[in-house]
Structure 1
Amino acid sequence: MSTQREPNHVVIFDTTLRDGEQSPGASMNLDEKLRIAQLLEEMGVDIIEAGFPIASEGDFKAVHGISKVVTRSVVCGLARATRADIERAAEAIKPAQRGRIHTFISTSPLHMKHKLQMEPEQVYQAVIDSVKHARRFTDDVEWSCEDGSRTEHDFMCRCVEAAIASGATTINIPDTVGYAMPDEFGALIAMLFNRVPNIDKAIISVHCHNDLGLAVANSLAAVKAGARQVECTVNGLGERAGNAAMEEIVMALKTRQNTMPYSTSVVTEHIVKASRLVSTITGFVVQPNKAIVGANAFAHESGIHQDGMLKNAQTYEIMTPESVGLSKSNLVLGKHSGRHAFREKLKELGYDLGDNAIQSAFKRFKDLADVKKEIFDDDLVALVDDEVVRTNDRLRLVSMEILCGTVHRPPKASLEMEIDGQLHECSATGDGPVDAAFNCVKQLFPHRARLQLYQVQAVTHGTDAQAEVTVRLAEEGKTVNGQGADTDTMVASVKAYLNALNKLLVKREKTEPVAVSV
């Protein structure tokens, strides 16, 4: 991959692990962040913003750990315009073969007055001081003007010129609150190229939020105007309405070469795999009609559409499913399939598991094959993702039984659970079978977390399809998502609930990250 100044190369800066994690409930542990970072590198992502090192010990360890294992992508740490932030970021990226410090400060009148309580001249001096300090640790320094789309043009030009003169090699213009329209945001980038005398000495970047649903449109308008780095996230993950979706940016550039003749280093065939991994780890289900990676993105139900597709796929498909790594759900394995065939199929789907993980996943595959008539690719993806998600869990489901229906009122659940390796049993009732099962868990593991979301979707079609359940819990300002998959919806529900509780336990053990908007 390359971040060289090729005229039409667009640098992809992925901030799933930093900005994406700020979505309520989307916290990830170190192992999960490492898995995502390694896949992003495999995809050809140029820069991975791995976290905000001063925000928490967990964020520092994530950036530091990713810096040790990622060798081709640039590893970036975020820092406010303070010496302590910058020095912490520098320490975190120290092991990286290619490290970047990304420092920022607000420049809009609203933010300077109410958030920073600083005068413009103080902010201007802070820009100079922070960039110069960051350059003491690395040659690769990015500077961002937070709330850039609402910043006065004269002041922005002064700050951008000063940041470049102080040593910034990338200048990022964020639409922090998703306020801009594509034409005005493109004009803002063009204005900088016209007015900042040393603009040619830095790459211009954009970071657009999706509050009005325009993050991708604004990013592409900026590229047309001369920006050559786009900051984005897998599945558009991020706080509030999210960020520009990496898969949409990349595929728009790849598909519309006639009007946007720009290239990226991303291997698009890994897009669906990345989407599924991020969805599984964060517990954020991808909506079916999501562009590029949604379940319906390549589905055609209208008779007119189906007729056109049979005659020529290009009548209603502007890109192929294979170009983003999507394979059709064909029957692939059965109950008599062996371990070797299972391992090879997983490799075909993009999973390379160790011996212990393969053994565990193969056992679950055999169990699934005993109860499900047909096993599809999506079943295997759900099975493996569900298996990997559960590593290092302190709370584990051993067995359960539910009595419900018109005869059994109120519904009753009986559970066996392992808590830190110790077996515990209980029975409880509830308003419904899910409520009874969750009440049983509360008896065995008392907690004050509130259920904010309970969502069920089928992994594939048919009455024997696996259910994939998402649960969101909130406790004392901390929010987590949990996921579980099983052919039995009740089992999947308890797995998801325990997955969320395990994530809460991790969150209790570390300082809550400081939220930032860039």
Structure 2
Amino acid sequence: MNCMMDCADQARKPFFYDVTLRDGNQALPKPWNNAQKKDVYLQLLKLGVQGAEVGFPASSEMDFESVKELAQLTAEMAAAGDEVAQKVVVAGLARCVPSDIQRCWEAVQYAPNPRIHTFLATSPLSMEHVLHMTPEQVKARAVDCVKLAKSLVGDRGTVEFSCEHFGDCLENMDFVIDVLKAVVEAGATTLNLPNTVERYRPMLYISQIKQVYDALPKNVTISVHCHNDLGMATAATVESFFVGATQLEVALNGLGERCGNTNFYEVALGLHNSGVDTGLHLDRIYETAILISQWSGISIYSRAPLIGAEAIVHRSGIHQDGASKTKDMKKGAYRPIDYSIIGRHQNDSLSFTSQSGRTAVYEIITKFGYKMSLSEAAELQPILKAYSEKEGELSAERVLDVFREQRVNVNGRLIFNNVEVVPDENRFVFHFKKDKEAVIKSITAEGPIEAGLLLMREIGMPVELVKYRQVVVPEKDTLWAGRGLSRIVLKANGKEVEGRGVSSDTLKANMRALFGGVNLLYK
């Protein structure tokens, strides 16, 4: 309670500085291309983020172009009146190398609020064994590079300096503070103190943050950047705010090197629950988490705080009793937040109304065990809304019915009837209708999927196979449980869809998925 009261008395607000597009992206097995980075950036703006480190311009031509494009996009949005774009700081990362800093400025200069973020290690271990530099040399280089960065940004932008491996500087804090004072004099206005590798308990790191905060002028912004090697990055970041850190460097879904960066959502809700106004659109969190999982290819851990599938599940009788008795209260017996704050529907028994959005569709269908994307949910939402306007509130089972009708064994221009296999000849004979006309086609191929794709090309509806998976219908779908479920992702004319086919016969399930996907692409 004292923490909440102390916080409520402070005028200082946190500055959420997201590093997903730099630290998060560089750690992905398959880093995003420029178009994907744009999608992530626009989602960050929807969240209301105050700062974003969008890349490392000197690392590659692709990263340079991406940072430049996002800076220009921000300027265009700001000119059109977008308030978030007008205020957001767009930063690029640069080593303490003049060519890096110059390249960074060439990319970020187009943004309304550009920033050069440069860094140099100050821990004894890194200076001696990685940089092979003396402390005096490190200080001199840091000052020279900050001066260069400041000369480039002038009054238009800002300079951030990071003491890489700050968390390892327990034994040379006097030197670190001396360097920080020198770079402030050289033009840095934000000082980032990274826990580059989490080795110790949070309170040691937090005590270092306080030591720097007490030693530096109060017009300087103290920033923290924590990695999650021991699973305590959120705790270290949240508590750092209460000892003077204002800029909190975080990543969507906790993406980042090794065990990830500090999780954006956990910090936001940790501060929110402590009475801090984050200035963020918290109701966008759940939607964002789902999108980032889909775009990154990294699944959300089922027990991930706030966003995991199990985060709202109660199985113990004692827990169920307490949850039931407090379900309509602002503070639940076994619930950290009202999940509607993050745009998540928390009730076990979900329903859909004409006011429900795509996340409600997504949650209902995925609770039945089906996989689906948010874009698919968005396509189903207006269809369900039309039903709801006629029928009133739709039960979860009714929503599932509509999903089956619209996304499983889909008929359209094509209607699949049967396929016969002539094994000795590797021949497949398809019986189907195209535009209401009965058709029989014989295709020679190594397998049924290949035959189906060749058939589509022959009838003028070519598609590219992106993914294929054969599973079983989830047990929670009692109508079809136990039957084969084929999921085939297809692409044509720049659009990607997932076709689903259900049958007790695996071959027919495959073909129904293929025909259904083609129907979605060629309406």
Regarding TM over 0.5, the answer is: yes
Q: Show the counterpart of 1:59.
A: 63
1:78-105 C-alpha deviation (Å, 9 max, x unpaired): 1111111111111111211111111101
| TM-aligned CA deviation for residue 72 of structure 1 | 3.2
Q: Show the counterpart of 1:8.
A: 12
- The one of 233, 240, 249 equivalent to 2:258 is 240
Q: Show the counterpart of 2:399.
A: 375
Q: Show the counterpart of 2:29.
A: 25
CA distance in 2, matches of 1:304, 1:293: 23
- Contact 1:54 1:88 (C-alpha < 8 Å) held by counterparts: yes
Q: Show the counterpart of 2:186.
A: 166
Which letter maps to 1:310? S
RMSD: 5.0
Q: Which structure 2 segments of 5+ residues have no match? A: 1-9, 75-84, 363-373, 384-395, 408-413, 430-442, 453-466, 490-495, 503-508, 515-523
| TM-aligned CA deviation for residue 427 of structure 1 | 5.0
Q: Show the counterpart of 2:518.
A: none
- The one of 287, 291, 300 equivalent to 2:314 is 300
1:275 pairs with 2:299 = no
CA distance in 1, matches of 2:57, 2:121: 19
| TM-aligned CA deviation for residue 113 of structure 1 | 2.2
Q: Show the counterpart of 2:219.
A: 201
| TM-aligned CA deviation for residue 263 of structure 1 | 2.8
1:149 pairs with 2:173 = no
CA distance in 2, matches of 1:455, 1:112: 53
CA distance in 2, matches of 1:8, 1:83: 34
| TM-aligned CA deviation for residue 157 of structure 1 | 1.0
Which letter maps to 1:20? G
| TM-aligned CA deviation for residue 316 of structure 1 | 1.4
Change (3 A) 1:271 1:163: same
CA distance in 2, matches of 1:248, 1:167: 32
| TM-aligned CA deviation for residue 20 of structure 1 | 0.7
CA distance in 2, matches of 1:192, 1:469: 55
* DSSP 3-state at the match of 1:54: helix
Instruction: Give the 5 Å matches for 1:74-473.
Output: 74-138=89-153, 139-151=157-169, 152-194=172-214, 196=215, 198-257=216-275, 262-313=276-327, 314-327=332-345, 330-332=350-352, 345-346=357-358, 362=379, 374-375=398-399, 427-428=445-446, 461-462=476-477
Return 11-20 or 262-271, whichever deviates more. Answer: 262-271
CA distance in 2, matches of 1:127, 1:23: 26
| TM-aligned CA deviation for residue 359 of structure 1 | 11
CA distance in 2, matches of 1:307, 1:101: 53
Which letter maps to 1:34? K
Q: Show the counterpart of 2:50.
A: 46
| TM-aligned CA deviation for residue 165 of structure 1 | 1.1
Higher RCO by CA contacts (8 Å cutoff, separation 6 or greater): 1
Change (3 A) 1:46 1:104: same
- Contact 2:28 2:296 (C-alpha < 8 Å) held by counterparts: no
Which letter maps to 1:79? A
Change (3 A) 1:114 1:271: same
Which letter maps to 2:62? G
| TM-aligned CA deviation for residue 254 of structure 1 | 0.7
| TM-aligned CA deviation for residue 63 of structure 1 | 1.3
Return 45-54 or 17-26, whichever deviates more. Answer: 17-26
CA distance in 2, matches of 1:120, 1:299: 53
Task: Percent identity, please.
Answer: 31
| TM-aligned CA deviation for residue 71 of structure 1 | 3.5
Pairs aligned (count) = 419
Q: Show the counterpart of 1:419.
A: none
Please, what TM-score do these two structures have when normalized by structure 1?
0.68
Which letter maps to 2:208? L
CA distance in 1, matches of 2:117, 2:208: 21
- Contact 2:488 2:500 (C-alpha < 8 Å) held by counterparts: no
**Bigger radius of gyration among the two:** 2
Which letter maps to 2:340? E
More helix as a share of residues: 2
* DSSP 3-state at the match of 1:241: coil
Change (3 A) 1:364 1:219: closer
* DSSP 3-state at the match of 1:145: strand
